[in-house]
Amino acid sequence: MKKYEFLDHTADVKFLAYGKTLAEAFANAAIASYDVMTDVKKVKAVEEKTIKVTSKKKESLLYDFLEELIVLTDIEGFLLSKVKAIEIKENKSNFQLKATILGDNGDNYDVHTYIKSVTYSDMFIKETPTQTTLQVVHDI
């Protein structure tokens, strides 16, 4: 199964990400985001980080999760290589995400595009019992 695919957008970057579960689609959205910035296949998995996000809705969870990654890159120069583990828990009033990610320092790579921010533009999350599809537009 395809993990993600880029779509046409006049000024920015738009993609669909897929997964058997919501968590897997989120992980693939993370990788797609780094595919925007650099040749993500070349990034080495040498550093491990943990990300925890709590948000009220699924869409805001996706927004906040991707924003955490963008901030990590902006402040620390960290580039993601893969998502080692990811878990999304649905509580009564919110959603909780915990992810362990692997990557490397951006100084070692050609980083060609910087994501200014994730947006809500055209965002959707569609879930069936066997598959999740989500769509994201990043402002670059």
Least CB distance from residue 15 to another protein, whole Å? 10
Both tokens of 131, joined, read: 């598959």
Bridge partners of 18, per DSSP, are 133
Identity of the residue, 70 or 102, whose beta carbon is nearer to another protein in the bound complex:
70
Contacting residues for 32 by C-beta, under 8 A, at least 6 apart: 3, 4, 6, 15, 17, 136
Identity of the residue, 1 or 75, whose beta carbon is nearer to another protein in the bound complex:
75
Least CB distance from residue 140 to another protein, whole Å? 5
Instruction: Please report, as ranges, the residues that interact with another protein according to CB under 8 A.
Output: 6-13, 37, 56, 60, 63-64, 67, 71, 73-75, 77, 106-107, 110-114, 116-121, 123, 137, 139-140
* CA angle, 121 then 123 then 124, to 5°: 155
Identity of the residue, 21 or 140, whose beta carbon is nearer to another protein in the bound complex:
140
Contacting residues for 72 by C-beta, under 8 A, at least 6 apart: 49, 51, 78
Least CB distance from residue 129 to another protein, whole Å? 27
Least CB distance from residue 72 to another protein, whole Å? 11
On whether the CB atoms of residues 65 and 99 are closer than 8 A, the answer is yes
Identity of the residue, 112 or 128, whose beta carbon is nearer to another protein in the bound complex:
112
Phi (first) and psi of residue 118, to 5 degrees: -75, 155
